[in-house]
Structures are given as C-alpha cells and as structure tokens.
Structure 1
Amino acid sequence: MKLFRSVAAIATATALTFGAGSALTADAAPVNPQQAAGNAAVGTVKNWNAHPAPKAVTTGETAKWVNEVDHKKVWAFWVSSPSMGRDIPVAVIPARNDKGELVKNAPTIYMLNGAGGAEQDSDWLTYAETQKFYEKKGVNVVIPMEGAFSYYTDWLNTPNAAYFKGPQKWETFLTKELPGPIEKRLGADNRRAILGFSMSGTSALLLPEKVPGFYDAAASFSGCAATSSPAAYNFARLTVNRGAGSAANFKTVTPEQMWGPMGGPYNRANDALLNAEKLRGTKLYVSTATGLAAEQDMVSYIAAKGAPAVAAHAASLTLQVEGGVIEAAINTCNHDLKAKLDSLKIPAHYEFRNVGTHSWPFWRMDLENSWNKTIKPAFGM
C-alpha cells in the first residue's frame, strides 16, 4: 500500500492530471466586466475567514494549496456565485513589480485547473510554482479553486456525485459573476487573459468564444477544442465520469447532463472547434505533444528526482502508457484546431512538441512560453 501511494504521488507530481468599471487602456480588451455580465447578478468578494478552509475530496484533509496562502504573496477569498448558490474559493497572486511593490491598474490572468483540480491536490499552486513564476511580472493571477471534472461550463443538469456540490454554472461564474468584483478588489484594468490545461484547455478556448472581446489572450495547454464529435464527446465522458469518485460507472455523471445529447444544439454551442470564428481578435497560444515518451517520462529522470527504483519504474510506465495515449488524442484535436484556424486566417502561436506525454513538466514549460510568446505581448508589456 505504501508503495502504491508513492507511485501515485510521483505519477501525479511528475506528470498526469486527467487533468466597478475597469479602466480601459490602449491594449485592453474592448468588452468590460459590466458588459460581459449584462443583467446577471454578480458575486461578492468575501474575506478568507468567511468559511473554513476547503478540503480535498481525495484525502478529506485541508487542500494543499491552502498552505500557500500567506495573505502577502498569495491571497485567498470566497466569491459568491448567485447562479450556483454558494461561495467559491479563489486564490489570487496580486500584481507586484520587480521591487515587490503592489501594482494597480495591472492586467489579470485567470488560470483554470485541470480535471481533478484542487479537490485532488493537483492544481496550479501545488504543482507548478505558479506564485514564483508570476511574483514580479506585474500581473494579477486569479485561480478558482473548485470545479473539478466540470469543464468550467454551465451544466444542464446537476450531478449527484462526490465532486459536485450543487449546480454547475461555471461559464456564468467565470464570465459574469467573478471578473467585475475581483478586478475591482484588485484595482485591475481591463486587460485579461485566460489559460488552462487538459480539461480546462478546452474551457480556455470556449469561454473567449462565449464573450468575444472579453479576453486579450487565451492559452490552451493539451486541451481539445472539439466537444461534439463522437471521439471528443466520449473523451469528455471519460473525464466527467471520474467526478463520481468511487461510484464512477459512466451513469452517475455524464456529458448528457452537461451538454445534452451529442451533436445537439447545446453541445454544438459548447464546441470551441465549431465556433472557432469567435476567437478572432484574441491572441492564442495552443500546445500539444505527440504522446511519445520524452526525457521527463523516463525512469532515470524520475529516479533522479528522488523516487525509489520500483516507484520510478511504475510512474514511468503510467506516464508512457496512460499519459501517452491521452496526449496522442489531444495532438489530433489540436491539429484539427490549427487546420480550422488556418482556414479562417486566424493567427495563433503553436507549440507542437515532437515528444512528451500528458503531464506537468510540459505544462510548466507552457506556463513560461505562453507568457513570453502570447500573453505578455497581448497585454502590451
């Protein structure tokens, strides 16, 4: 059992995760939070002590990311969601300059976790040293710390399952309820970007299509834009099924609950490939690998990180088999996206790696690459 836990931890840490009016500037997106929200009720930003710290579903213990909250380098709030009827924990890395001083009128990056997210202790703060990367970049970073297995979309029906605490209205929360209040609290301007990986790599392309002109930039790491084709829809089935926890049986949580029948109107409305024209004007970063093993997937690399020999072999096998298959499928998705965007003459920056699996080492690379090649230029910084 101890060895199994070690293998699982190494595989996760090294790799897989299945998973008020802002001031306008010359570089700002043309749509502001009030316009995006329309007549929808917006959230309220509440202090961190408004509720007990959230727990990870997998362990029942306080989520690991909470340890990063020092109210200096990493802040945290609860933001109410009128559409979901509950408060959502949100981590914030406030904008600071190279002297460590807080910066006002800074842009905001919304980062979405992968499938298991903070509920499985597999989030941006825990596994990517995100705070260290952004600490002197002069940007605010906002990370919702709930939403595992949700695709950050508005579900038609609420699943009764371990990872779902009630209505799932993430599109509404992320585009209408959260931005205005949190950006006002941070003194941010109207520049913003969104990024995600794996499951949320889909969301990071879809949400800008739902509110064109709201995001200056969008970055998708190992995400699949398509959702309504047979392969893509059933890939989503594999993902959301895991939200049932130990009761996973492909019936408790389904894509039909999320988007209705495959190829139906609501499913097609939530297909970022079909609606790619709406990405025009948003600076795009898209990454994928082939699924072929890279250095980071090898036994020797994992062992050099301190893993025992048996655990290193097991973790490497998991990466190369499971992570390889997933990334190979994602590779096809992203070449389809490139073909569609090319046909529409919509530019994007592509990071198509010859080797690499569906794993954290490559998303950490994407964190830096997307900033330097797409997001920073989009912000005019």
Structure 2
Amino acid sequence: MERIEHRACFGGWQDVYRHESSVLGCTMAFAVYLPPQADKRKLPVLYWLSGLTCNEQNFITKAGAQRYAAEHGVILVAPDTSPRGDDVADADGYDLGKGAGFYLNATQQPWAAHYRMQDYIVDELPALVEANLAATGARAISGHSMGGHGALTLALKHPGRYRSVSAFSPIVAPSQVPWGEKAFAAYLGADRAAWAQHDAVELLKTAGEKLPLLVDQGDADEFLHSQLKPELLKAAAHAAGHPLVLRMQPGYDHSYYFIASFIGDHIAHHAKALQA
C-alpha cells in the first residue's frame, strides 16, 4: 500500500491509498477515513460502494460522511467501482466497463480477466485494510445505486461477513431493468440462472441470514421507475419474511445531495451493529 493523499478532517485523516491488486490484475486506489479514535485503538469498518461512473473520490468529497464517522468511531473505506488501466477491457457508454464493475466476478471474455470486483470487495480489500490499518474484523457495507446493489447482494451472498447493510437508491432487481440486463449479459452471459446470484430480489428468496436491510429511496429519483423499482424489494422481503426498512424520502432525487441528507442515519445504524 502506498498512501497518495493525506488530509486532516474532523480530527482524523482522509487518506487515499494505491496498491497492486492480484485479484483484479491492475493498480487500484481506495479511500480511507480514519477517525480520531484510530490513534488509540482498532475500529470497525464501513465499506462504501459507489455507483456508475464513480471512483474512490465521489463519496469522500460529496457525502459529508466523515463528520459522522468521527462521532461514532467508524473507519470508512471507499474503493473504486471497477478495475482500471490500459489493459482493462472497456466499452462505449457509462454503464458497462470501467466505472461499472457491478461488484460481481465476470465469467465472459473480455471481462473475466480483470472484472472480479466481488472477490476484491469481499476478500482482498478487507484483508489489506485489516492487516495494515487500525481496523478490527467487524465490517458493515453500504452503497448507492449500482453500489447499493453491490452492498445488498454481497451481504446476502456472504452470511456472517457483515454485521449490517444499507443502501441508497439501490438497483434491487438488476435482472429486470436495463442497467442490469446490459451488464449481466456482458459479464455473465445469457444464462439467467447465473444472473440470479447477483440480484437482491432473487437472493432474498433463499437467504439464510436475516440481516436487516435499511434502504433509503427518493421519490423524485429520475431512475425510480425505470431502473430501481424498490417495490420489488419490498415484495420479496415480505414474501421471505426478511426484515426491511424501506424509507421513501419525499422530494429527493438520485444525487449526492440525497446521500448527504441521510448518511448520518446510516452511519448511526451501522455503528450500533458494529459496536454491539
């Protein structure tokens, strides 16, 4: 790990690290906020997964999360959204390729060589963080849009790995909406049974761990009816008896203004679970 940014923030440090990822086969950057309590003891970690077109910078510069992380004594880790580099496959458009990894392990060429974001987020990155920073093994996960999809699916697919999960404006049923259909067809191929392993609505049907889901969704979100469809998550959770708090927030859109308005609630939610 090489630290490439280091800035004082709310009594702690907002850093960015660069490292060579053996899982992704490229150089990756990730952001870490270390609250002031990290000077004295190891702390739990909240992993934040960003959405389409984003990298490790969007959350740390727009969400205003550091204030709440300092208050609750939680480390924030915000990775990039895809592999990067000249050798990494890409595509025209913002919703496939670089900046659009969808937090899964691709099985189809040319994507399979580098697009293994599931293994990176679940295994390689936490191992790196816990070995090199003041981090315990207590983990939570959250995210926005494509990252909300990632947070929900990774928590559902890996019982016991996270103590809490939440999402803003998540793509809850990617198998049923254009963003997910395009990405899944490219990364996973035509077999929709493979798609179901990365679809929160489908995963809820067989989830063994009833980890409560906290979801905030703006009712003025421009993607609400075409890409997000939170009503599908609500129906799936009800059918499976899975605990879900779905808060429809009046007047809010898909932007980081929405995230900044409610990120304090989410960090408090995770801190309670992480420090229990």
**Interval containing the TM-score (normalised by the shorter chain):** 0.7 to 0.9
CA deviations on 1:142-190 (whole Å, 9 max, x unpaired) are 1113421111221223558xxx9x6111001111111122112223222
Q: What CA distance in whole angstroms lies between the structure 2 residues aligned with 1:106 and 1:82?
A: 26
Paired residue secondary structure (1:70): strand
Q: Quick check: 1:48 aligned with 2:9?
A: no
Change (3 A) 1:82 1:168: same
Q: C-alpha distance in 1, partners of 2:196/2:227?
A: 19
- Partner Cα distance (1:228, 1:146) in 2: 20
Q: Does 1:173 align with 2:120?
A: yes
RMSD: 2.5
Which residue among 208, 211, 235 is the counterpart of 2:179? 235
Query: Which sections of structure 1, spanning at least 5 residues, go unmatched?
Result: 1-45, 50-65, 239-253, 292-322
Partner of residue 256 from structure 2, selected from 339, 360, 363: 360
Distance in 1 between residues matched to 2:233 and 2:208, nearest whole Å: 11
Over residues 330-367 of structure 1, what are the superposed CA-to-partner deviations in whole Å (9 max), with x where a residue is unaligned?
56x21211121122222122211233222222111231
Paired residue type of 2:214: Y
From 186, 208, 229, give the equivalent of 1:257. 186
Q: Is the 8 A contact 1:194 1:217 kept in 2?
A: yes
Separation of aligned partners in 2, 1:47 and 1:202: 29
Identity %: 21
Provide the rounded CA distance (Å) in 2 between the counterparts of 1:80 and 1:192.
23
Give the gaps of 5 or more residues in structure 2. 83-98
Find out whether 1:193 has 2:140 as its counterpart. Answer: yes
- Residue-by-residue CA offset, 1:45-86 (whole Å, 9 max, x unaligned): x1225xxxxxxxxxxxxxxxx5xx327611222233212112
Per-residue deviation, 1:222: 0.3
The normalised TM-score by structure 2 is: 0.83
- 8 Å contact 2:157–2:203 — kept in the other structure? no
TM (normalized to structure 1)?
Answer: 0.61
Give 1:352's aligned amino acid: M
Change (3 A) 1:83 1:380: closer
Ranked by relative contact order (alpha carbons within 8 Å, sequence separation 6 or more), the top structure is 1
Report the equivalent of 1:379: 274
Q: Which has more strand, going by share of residues?
A: 2
Over alpha carbons, which structure has the higher Rg?
Answer: 1
In structure 1, what is the equivalent of residue 170 of structure 2?
223
Number of positions where the alignment pairs a residue of Structure 1 with one of Structure 2: 256
CA contact (8 A) 2:167 2:216 kept: yes
2:17 is equivalent to residue 80 of structure 1: no
Are 2:195 and 1:267 equivalent residues in the alignment?
Answer: yes
